Structure 1
Amino acid sequence: MEETKTSPIPIRAITRGLEVLRIISFGGSMNMAEIARSSRLPYPTVCRIVNTLVSDGYVEREPARKRFRVTGLVQSLSHGFQNDSRLVEVSRSHLVRLTKTLEWPMIVATRLGSSMIVRDGTHELTSLTLSHYYPGFTFPILDSASGRAYLAYCSPEEREACLRGIEVVEGSDCKHAINLARKHGDLEKIRQDGFATRDRNSFTSPPGKNSSIAAPIFNGSEVCGALALVFFATAMPMKAAIERYASEIKEGAKAISKELRSEKNGGASLDRPLSVGRDTFGLNRSRAQHEAMARAPRQPTTVRIGQTG
């Protein structure tokens, strides 16, 4: 009898538990309501998950406060992680150059499960930003330009595994977006254009204030991430932004891909995608360093909002 290969079905309880742990880790100190709001899970579910994490020693309740924070035990979870920050090192000069040229912040993001994660960005180098998205910030793969660019170019097997994971976690909330991705019409257009867009991103703070354009980054023949430009949604319509910035973003992504293909770094393999499990949190700067850079005096920036180029 022939054995048919099927994508593994994620265990929802584990997925939710890890997501809550990640949210508390990045939030620093949070109460139950904040955790529930960030995770978009029911309050009773969050209470059970947090109490389990407290029981297992990964989270603790602050003395005399109804707030929770991670403990030192979470460091044990990264014990087997092998840091490979090559993508960050290669892309950094291109991010800085593009920010100086285009004036808007740039980010490099890779896939992390059913989300995208910021590996590096230049929000600290420009005043044209509403929020600083540090390395480690995650956002939905289906609701972002970076995620859609990644999905358009990854293998069908990886795409389907990612979509099934979203189905398990999100349920019917993302059914329409998942169906569109599976029909490939939307993704086919992204492949034809060489870039993806997302108008008024819902995951940003504040929501709906930013839009983005992203192009895929390749490590050899496989997509490993995306290069994205983030701009104020009210500054210009998406069509004008595409005419002004899309070619620069695509060329920047191609330049990063070329360096990844041609350079060697300590014997690192060029054949595996950097985004799958091995290069997730290889951050090149600490949060404290980012905050120090953000506080440093900036050179005046000429704002070209209103020009259509």
Structure 2
Amino acid sequence: MTHAVKSITALSRGLLVLQRLQAAGALTLADLHRQTGLPKATLLRILKTLAEAGAVWQRMVDGAWVPSFSLAEMAGRMDREHQLVEVASPVLADLTARVEWPSVLAVPRLTHMEVLETNAARAYFDRIPLGPVGFQVNMLRSASGRAFIAFCEAPVREAILETLRRSERKGDRLARLPDRVAALLAETRAQGFGLRDPDFGGHFDEGRSTHDDGRESLALPIRLGPHVPGTLNITWTRRALPRARALALLVPAAREAADEIARRMGHGVSPDETAATEG
């Protein structure tokens, strides 16, 4: 028990140092000593640990310690994703009231897409469970993944494809077929939305012969200029709706929803304005 208490105390001190550095932007060892009251020897151990973890670095010009850019970038990405979910949630609620089929909001994670939000609980056809939050979706075989990778910025696309080519996962093998990848990207761009691969039945690695959820999906990129922070999809059952009929019914609504999310993200619609537009 004593050992556990010591570990928590050490963590608390490390967090205190990191918080002071983030608040100030840069602090010398003497500054940290004055602000925290911690012995300099203790501070040096903490700073060494944080530096090894990539959370801080030491500036040469004055020896001050600085929070790393990667840490700030991660915090910025999380802030942007929180904003995306906050903006998208009421749009998703309105979408499922219009089309009755469920949707998910997904964001890229280099090797896959990750579900951040879903309106499945509010959908009329609520027997199609989607998500949960954090669920990983195949990048090249799913509608959401194709909608993202086809419309994202070229350097991002190349980084994703290069990583997927090195992947040992069965579900990523498509990345090693450049002609097929080029064809699916061209097709997705031409139609303006992503569709599932014919052999994709919802399982990350397996094909429809092994795992078939009986569903189809389409997905639209959420586009902020050249940047695509995520995608919005609609999922339905093949038995209820043939693909051609589903696309005629669902693509316009999905496109309007994706455009509305982008509009609210780009123009900073306030919560009051959002409530007003929702009626």
Query: Which TM class, normalised by the smaller chain length?
Result: 0.5 to 0.7
The Cα shift of 1:192 comes to 2.1
Say if 1:173 and 1:231 are closer, same or farther in 2 by CA, change over 3 A: closer
Give aligned pairs, total: 187
Q: Which whole-Å deviations, capped at 9, do the CAs of 1:49-80 have from their partners, x for residues lacking one?
A: xxxxxxxxxxxxxxxxxxxxxxxxxxxxxx98
Is the counterpart of residue 122 in structure 1 residue 122 in structure 2? no
Please identify, of 79-88 and 245-254, the stretch whose mean Cα deviation from structure 2 is larger: 79-88
Q: Is the 8 A contact 1:145 1:196 kept in 2?
A: yes
Q: Distance in 2 between matches of 1:262 and 1:132?
A: 29
TM-score with structure 2 length normalisation?
Answer: 0.60
Give the root-mean-square deviation of aligned CA atoms: 2.6
Q: Which of 81, 88, 91 is equivalent to 2:88?
A: 91
Q: Distance in 2 between matches of 1:251 and 1:114?
A: 28
Is the counterpart of residue 195 in structure 1 residue 193 in structure 2? yes
Q: Which residue of 2 aligns with 1:131?
A: 129
Q: What SS class does the counterpart of residue 116 from structure 2 fall into? A: strand
The Cα shift of 1:240 comes to 1.1
Q: Distance in 2 between matches of 1:162 and 1:244?
A: 32
Name structure 2 gaps, 5 residues minimum: 1-70, 271-279
Mapping of residues 66-215 of structure 1, within 5 Å? 82=75, 83-84=78-79, 85-126=82-123, 127-170=125-168, 174-180=172-178, 184-198=182-196, 201-203=201-203, 207-215=212-220
Q: Which whole-Å deviations, capped at 9, do the CAs of 1:124-180 have from their partners, x for residues lacking one?
A: 112433324121111111111010010101122211211121222236764445425
Q: Distance in 2 between matches of 1:203 and 1:129?
A: 18
Say if 1:165 and 1:91 are closer, same or farther in 2 by CA, change over 3 A: same
TM-score with structure 1 length normalisation?
Answer: 0.55
Q: What SS class does the counterpart of residue 184 from structure 1 fall into? A: helix
Q: Which of 252, 261, 278 is equivalent to 2:257?
A: 252
Say if 1:176 and 1:96 are closer, same or farther in 2 by CA, change over 3 A: same
Q: Which whole-Å deviations, capped at 9, do the CAs of 1:191-210 have from their partners, x for residues lacking one?
A: 22211111553328973322
The structure where helix makes up a greater share of residues is 2
Q: Which residue of 2 aligns with 1:217?
A: 222
Say if 1:114 and 1:193 are closer, same or farther in 2 by CA, change over 3 A: same
Which structure exhibits the higher relative contact order, with contacts defined as CA atoms closer than 8 Å and separated by 6 or more residues?
Answer: 1
Say if 1:180 and 1:208 are closer, same or farther in 2 by CA, change over 3 A: farther
Please identify, of 180-189 and 153-162, the stretch whose mean Cα deviation from structure 2 is larger: 180-189
Q: Is the 8 A contact 2:161 2:175 kept in 1?
A: no
Is the counterpart of residue 241 in structure 1 residue 241 in structure 2? no
Q: Is the 8 A contact 1:220 1:260 kept in 2?
A: no
Q: Is the 8 A contact 2:164 2:175 kept in 1?
A: no
Mapping of residues 9-24 of structure 1, within 5 Å? none
Q: Distance in 2 between matches of 1:212 and 1:227?
A: 10
Q: Which of 228, 232, 239 is equivalent to 1:227?
A: 232
Q: Distance in 1 between matches of 2:108 and 2:93?
A: 22
Q: What SS class does the counterpart of residue 167 from structure 2 fall into? A: helix
Q: Which whole-Å deviations, capped at 9, do the CAs of 1:245-291 have from their partners, x for residues lacking one?
A: 111111111111111111178xxxxxxxxxxxxxxxxxxxxxxxxxx
Q: What SS class does the counterpart of residue 186 from structure 2 fall into? A: helix
Say if 1:178 and 1:94 are closer, same or farther in 2 by CA, change over 3 A: farther
Q: What SS class does the counterpart of residue 177 from structure 2 fall into? A: helix
Say if 1:254 and 1:180 are closer, same or farther in 2 by CA, change over 3 A: farther
Percent identity, aligned pairs only, is 27
